[in-house]
Amino acid sequence: MPQWNKFLEPYKQAVNELKVKLKGIRSQYELEDVHTPVEFITGRVKPRASIYDKTLEKGIPFEPSDELATELPDIAGLRIMCQFVSDIQSVVEILRQRNDLEVIEERDYISNKKASGYRSYHVIINYPVQTIQGEKTILVEIQIRTLAMNFWASIEHSLNYKYESALPEEISIRLERAAEAAFRLDEEMSLIRDEIQDAQQYFSTYKEDPTRGYIDQDQNARRKK
């Protein structure tokens, strides 16, 4: 247990630091009063039980080691949720331009969806953390997806866990159909993106000044007369 705690601690540090830093992206966009490509961010360090399952798949020893750190790039993981599909590429560009991390691999499962219907954009980064032993570079996987994609992926994950990755054919077919329906939803929302953003801006203004909404409605009513 002490060995595992020592091994995983830098991963926990990386997740905590990156969550704070990347959440700052949203705040900066909001201060500029423009649409933010980041809706919200979650993060986790893979539980040891999940690490064990992965070592069995890859045929590597289940022990804290440099080999484990290299073979499992998703021990530390973050998910960045976006409103629109086009926001995903904006987030990818932001990550590419940062100088506090290094993007070393990208996997586009949106343009090239998996057979199951899974869609997401995966980025593997090198992230340096400062420890009392000195700097340590951690591999972190960042998944970037829309809210609809995330809902579908969460359901699929639960079902795969229940059936131990051997889904009945009928459920697999329905899941694939649901994935396409979720993607069509994303496409439809993209078509009315401007209207959605205008409505969100109006709502934000109203929250800050409740009287503003009544003033705007009164002005619109006078214009119609």
Active site residue 141: yes
List the catalytic residue out of 67, 93, 102, 141.
141
Query: According to DSSP H, which parts of the chain are helical?
Result: 2-31, 48-58, 66-71, 85-97, 147-162, 169-191, 193-208, 210-224
Tell me which residue of 105, 137, 135 sits closest to 122, measured CA to CA.
105
Those residues with Cβ within 8 angstroms of residue 46's Cβ, 6 or more apart along the chain or in another chain: 54, 72, 74, 75, 76, 77
Active site residues: 141
